[in-house]
Homo-oligomer: A and B are copies of this chain.
Amino acid sequence: MEKSNYINLNPMGIENDSMKIISAELSHLNIPAELDRIIKRVIHTTADFEYGHLFEAHPDAVENAKKALSQSCNIYADTTMITAGVSKPSLSKLGCEINCFVHHPDVIETAKEKGITRSICGIDKASEDESYKIFVIGNAPTALVRICELAKEGKIKPDLVIGVPVGFVGAAESKQMLKESGLPYMIIRGRKGGSTVGVAILNALLYDMTNRKI
């Protein structure tokens, strides 16, 4: 271990030290208390302080989401990277489940038939089950557009939409559409975002609900 003695090998120590560095660098920003943990976790996940400026939430988003989580809602994600990254112990404590249907045989078939994204068809499938109250979109603008459409038609009534698709085509526009939809949202304005960002936001909420320290 001769060359690694300057690297902290204790997992909670590493995270604790990281959060101290992030807090120090963010101290000039006036972040609302209820969003503090979320924004810090997004920066912890990306090492990109620009997210401190790009994150935006509906005033009711945190309260609505926590109420839904406390009532053991289910969560729909547009990527299996998100379902893999979310804290399973926290979900389990709350009695919540997270799913993604983009690899489901029905979804694959419908997407081929209609020539549209599997992400859209996955949202349609989730909309058939009222237990899905939180949506996390890290990849597909088309999924976010579909959520806005279904909500407008009165077919879904989510308590929180975490809209953080990343990309150059449609991502920024889809997040703006969500913001204007009237739904309780959390977004990253512009092109940035992604599955790890979606996981960071959701885990921050889950850790708050289950009294995990960091």
Using a CB–CB cutoff of 8 Å, the interface residues on chain A facing chain B are: 1, 3-4, 6-11, 14, 17-18, 21-22, 44-48, 79-81, 83-85, 115-118, 120, 141-142, 145, 148-149, 166-171, 173-174, 177, 190-196, 199
Per DSSP, are chain A's interface residues mostly helix, strand or loop, or mixed? helix
Taking CB atoms, residues of chain B closer than 8 Å to A169 are: 7-8, 14, 17-18, 21
A141: min CB distance to chain B, Å: 6
Taking CB atoms, residues of chain B closer than 8 Å to A168 are: 17-18, 21-22, 44, 47
Give bound CA distance, A145 to B115, whole Å: 46
Taking CB atoms, residues of chain B closer than 8 Å to A170 are: 6-8, 14
Taking CB atoms, residues of chain B closer than 8 Å to A196 are: 81, 194-196
Taking CB atoms, residues of chain B closer than 8 Å to A120 are: 9
Give bound CA distance, A6 to B196, whole Å: 27
CB closest chain-B residue, reference A19: B168
Q: Are A171 and B47 touching (Cβ within 8 A)?
A: yes
Give bound CA distance, A48 to B80, whole Å: 22
A79: min CB distance to chain B, Å: 7
A1: min CB distance to chain B, Å: 7
Option from B14, B83, B171 in Cβ contact (under 8 Å) with A84: B83
